[in-house]
Chains A and B, each alone.
Chain A
Amino acid sequence: MAARFWKLALILAALALVASACGNAGNDDEGGAPATTAAPAAPEEPDDEPAPEEADDEPAPAPEEAGDDEPAPDGEPEAEPEPEEPKEPEHRHTFVPISGVPGVNDSEIKVTSIVTISNNALGTNIAAYNDGIEAYFNYINDTGGIYGRELVLANKRDDQLFSNQAESLAMVEEDDSLAAFVATLLFFGADTLNDAGVPVFGWNIHNEFADRWNIVGNIAPSCIGCIHQLFPWVATQVGATKVGIFGYGNSENSKICAEGTRDSVEHYSAEAGGMTVEFFDTSIEFGLAGGVAPQVSEMKDKGVDFIFTCLDLNGMRTIAQELVKQDYRDQVTMYHPNTYNHEFVAANADLFEGDLVFVQFVPFEAEIDSELQRRFFEYTEGLKLEEQTIVGWLNAHLFYDGLLAAGPEFDRASLMEAVRSFEDYSHDGLTNPIDWNRQIPLPNDNIDADYEYRCVNGVQVQDGAFVQWTGEPGKPWLCWETVRTDWHDPEALTFVG
């Protein structure tokens, strides 16, 4: 027995020694080339400014005061200007021989896309992302290209859901593309690309788009769990007073989104006519094999008249089917965060009639005075338009603008420097303006990293099609100033120009 004890003691001592000799290597991985551009430190969190949700106690500035320093983007009514031909920068067609820049030769600027095409069971056609990029490149090439070269989507990689890190590394090693365009359901290759200094333009549905200098998306990093006037405000617009909320229990993102929605409604309950959260369920699972009949019955019993969800297409359809089955569909409106899919909605027209669908770009149904939007419709004619089509288009546009700003002797580093210098970038009005120099970290606890305005664009389902619901003609955005956390109506805005 004693021998065993000493053996055990020796083993433990040896383990302790080994443990003390162990450490973690620094992050100076060789994993590719070192980052060519050092990421700037995240903006310091302001000590003297409360976070949006903490600002309740202080009187919120009046709209006029808040807008003093910076004029609201086109908030005042004014005459519609005549469409103008975009001014072309003088140096756009200046050719300068470049060597040593990956993917760039005398005739082409090549990029690579990494897209989840196979193994995508979500129902969204992510491959349309490539269509958007190519459509934009066609537009630029038809008008003379840039710096005497054509833009080419040279490599289309399918990450097959699980191998985007490997595909990212392969792209880095092949070193034959200037930039990467990424639309994947998982983004585990983010650090591989960022650390190698590869400019990445992508579909921002991941936290990996935050805190990485070389990675930018169609939108900036944003806070999915923050309190927002939007939720109760939308419900009030259809006269709702009792809301139900669904989120997936096995998705942290979905759960946080649902909790943020609940907190928002409860926070502004009094201002929103005494709106209450009557039903909250984040126990449901992907696939919903057990259905949602009991939950719908409970909502019906409690008189819920508005349903918020943080679900995918399948979840929305399942709930809607059960609403119809329980003869309850007409008494409730649903808020869809992920359903901007024309084919899907057309196929389920009866299920979603009257529902509200929200997106983070100007929807196809809202025509604005935007040259970029006109070109989008022109160059995607004949294509089946998806959300990912315009995301690819917007990414390509940012890439092009970055190249223009970087000048004819560009490289990867100067491209990203140029992109990060854009302080009021709205993709010609198609997105909420982004300050790419400032909006780098997640803005969860940092208002300085947030949008100046929190804006949404919404459409309503009517007869299986989408009809613009938010804003007014020419001004489709509904926006709340981020610094104002008091209850107030949003402004209808446009960001063109």
Chain B
Amino acid sequence: MTASVLAAGVVEETVRAFFQGLPIGAGFALVAMSFVLTYKTSGVFNLAFGAQAFISAATYFELHVRRDWPIWSAVLVAVVLVAPALGLLLERLVFRHVHAASAVAKLVISLGLMVALPELFKLIVDYNREQPFGAVGIIPDGTTVYRLFGRYPVTRDEIAAFVIVVAAAVALAALFRYTRFGLRIRAVVQSPRMTELNGVNADWVSSGSWMLSSFFAGLAGVLLVPTTSSLGTVLEPQGYFPIVISALAAAALGRLVNLPAALFGGLALGIVTTQMRTHVPRDNVILAELQGPALPYVMLFAIIVFWPAIRRQVAGADPLLGVSPPPPALAATSRSRGMTIYTRIMALAFFTAVGIWTFGYANNFWISRITHSVIFSIIFLSIVVFTGLGGQIALCQVTFAAIGAFGAMQFAQRWDISVIVGMVAGAAIAAAVGAVLSIPVMRLGGIWLAIATLAFALFFHDVLVKYSWVGGSLFHGRGVPRPEFFGVDFSSRENFLILCVAILVLVGVLIILIRESSTGMALRALRGSETAAESIGVVSWRSRVIVFSVSAAIAAIGGGLLAMEERLVGYESNYDPQTGLFWLVIVVVLGARTVEGGVQAGVAFVIFPELVLDRWLGLHGAWRYVLFGFAAISFARHPEGLLEHGKRRSQALMQRAFGRRQPAMAAAGAGEPADSGTETGGEP
């Protein structure tokens, strides 16, 4: 075969891959532009996009496929009515009240909505009464195939998606650039208060922009169904997750504000994917990974870390925000001595009662549940360190927990070394990974740090965990023993619970020591202003590395203990990255600033669904996601956490009742906190 024939073959394959990549890229672009649109019109990095898209697509499915409505009427309801109405509801009930909140706070709220909205929708319409097979697109005969230039096949659905994407990009760019409404949207996002000073009704503009962005999410939802393989078979909200993650890389190219960049980024991602799958050999493990699961995560991480525009990006902050008061002090720091003693006596009595019941009366199921809640408290304390002390959001704590679990398993199974040593080694490995991870993301803050850590978590989940040196082998078991320690056998549930409680106490004390140490003070200073902190001698990189490492190690210790408790590494049920998103939501909702908050989150995560939802109320487990998801809305208003907020309120009431109200309490009890409101300085 001559060189020219070979070259012609390569050219032909390249052109073919280009046209194969365009429809995939159009899907990515559609989602990326939706991210950009929402961010531009609301300042919200809307991870709930997939949830909004799902609701429109599922509504269309309910009406057209299950109830035989004509396409046009089903589209009218699902996209033109339901989607904007959902946007309006979200704006009126949720986001209108968090205008001044930091981007991080809005991210947490969108995470809560991502968890809650699909579950609520499914419960309301009894969506899973039968399998949601047979979802179709909104284009009649959408699977009809045409051939570009007589040889490159493309379906009518794909053509429609591509045309709509390009048209939407042009229309939206024109809207923002040339219309008064577009200008007002941007102004309201920057500062609703200043915009209102100019006579613009910021509320109406905000409502309109949310309706627009939600309409676009709904449109994307139905358009993606026939062209996205993860949606067409069974229409479930999880199906949007892979494409949302891939599209994040495209949206990041445009720093979440540039629509044309998102469009071209999405198309480019699709084309790069098919070019790699066409030209890169699959018999090399690393190259094969890059064609498959790893590619979107590697690209996302690389863009966030290396794209100069993202490093330079400074979030627009409301200039009037500075007049807002700082977040309130913790209730424990401002209560009277008598109240402190009373609180401690009550706590002691409570824990004594729980201890007596646990060791005297509880059966193995409840001992196991309590042990789980203690272990999850330890894991959640890693979020307290990272988010409560460090003021940042990381979405990879679940990965560090998994590293701890696999560490314990590998040491015990592979080398027959004590599982406790394995757990400690796992914690050390996690700390090292955390330290290494902290270096490239050092200068990132807010949502970019969150997304970068999510990319890392997904990379671990889809790429690394399948290797036997990480996740063990399916065929050699994943069993994990319980430890024996200085002659004490912890194989019984009671003894193991005692060990877990002891470790929880140790970790709690460690966190309090860190909080009160120079590192803790440095973190507080960094959270306020990194530049100012550095000007007084705080070494920011060192503090960030410490926070990453310590929180990773704590999560890994929890993961190791969880593996010992369950006698196996239940990776799929405990350490999925989407599970990790829910962890973050529940911790920040209940209180990420204190050790108490982490412990209460651990108890709520395990005990609440079992005891309250299932046994007392007889509700389906999905309500857990609905309740805690919607509770995340409170985060912007009560960044100290709901329990801390409630504690402060009840403390104020009690002190008032006892006539010993102090000035400090008056401020703490009555004052409604506001958020610090900077991109990197969210105040969880």
Contact = CB atoms under 8 A, between A and B. Distances in A.
Interface stretch (B90-98, B292-300, B596-604): B292-300
- 10 nearest A-B residue pairs (beta carbon): A22-B418, A25-B491, A162-B573, A287-B230, A283-B292, A293-B20, A318-B229, A123-B234, A289-B242, A294-B277
Given A158-B621, A318-B229, 12 more contacts: A25-B484, A29-B567, A122-B234, A161-B572, A166-B372, A191-B568, A207-B475, A250-B293, A250-B463, A252-B466, A293-B274, A325-B155
Interface in A118-159: 118, 121-125, 158
Contacts of A124: 131
Given A161-B573, A313-B233, A170 B365 contact: yes
Contacts of B273: 290
Given A250-B466, A324-B143, A327-B145, A173 B365 contact: yes
Given A19-B418, A169-B365, A285-B462, A121 B475 contact: no
Contacts of B372: 166
14 contacts: A27-B481, A27-B491, A30-B491, A118-B621, A125-B130, A162-B579, A165-B570, A173-B364, A256-B474, A283-B291, A289-B24, A289-B242, A290-B274, A293-B274
A449 interface: no
Given A186-B573, A289-B230, A173 B293 contact: no
A291 B229 contact: yes
Given A289-B230, A318-B229, A298 B278 contact: yes
Contacts of A293: 17, 20, 24, 274
A166 B417 CA distance: 28
Contacts of A21: 485-487
Given A121-B239, A249-B289, A297-B20, A25 B228 contact: no
B153 A326 contact: yes
B238 A121 contact: yes
Interface string B449-480: 00000000000001100100000011101010
A274 interface: no
Contact of B369 (A24, A166, A255): A166
Nearest to B134: A347
B484 A22 contact: yes
A24 B491 CA distance: 9
Contacts of B466: 249-252, 255
A438 B491 CA distance: 31
A293 B20 CA distance: 6
Interface in B467-508: 473-475, 477, 479, 481-487, 489-493
A295 interface: yes
Contacts of B293: 249-250, 283, 285
A343 interface: yes
A25 B233 contact: no
A177 to B, nearest CB: 14
Interface of A: 19, 21-32, 118, 121-125, 158, 160-166, 169-170, 172-174, 186, 188, 191, 207, 249-253, 255-256, 280-291, 293-295, 297-298, 313-314, 317-318, 321, 324-327, 343-344, 347, 384, 442, 444
B236 interface: yes
Contact of A24 (B145, B418, B462, B463): B418
B421 interface: yes
A258 B622 CA distance: 35
A288 B420 CA distance: 39
B483 A314 contact: no
Contacts of A25: 481-484, 489-491
B24 A290 contact: yes
Contacts of A252: 466, 473-474
B566 interface: yes
Which residue, of B24, B131, B155, has the highest number of chain A Cβ atoms within 10 A?
Answer: B131
Interface in B551-587: 566-568, 570, 572-574, 579
Given A29-B491, A122-B234, A289-B228, A295 B134 contact: no
Nearest to B273: A290
B484 A297 contact: no
A285 B570 CA distance: 20
Nearest to A122: B234
Given A22-B484, A121-B239, A161-B573, A317 B233 contact: yes
Given A173-B363, A186-B572, A284 B292 contact: yes
A297 B16 contact: yes
Contacts of B289: 249, 283
A284 B365 CA distance: 40
B288 interface: yes
B549 interface: no
B12 to A, nearest CB: 10
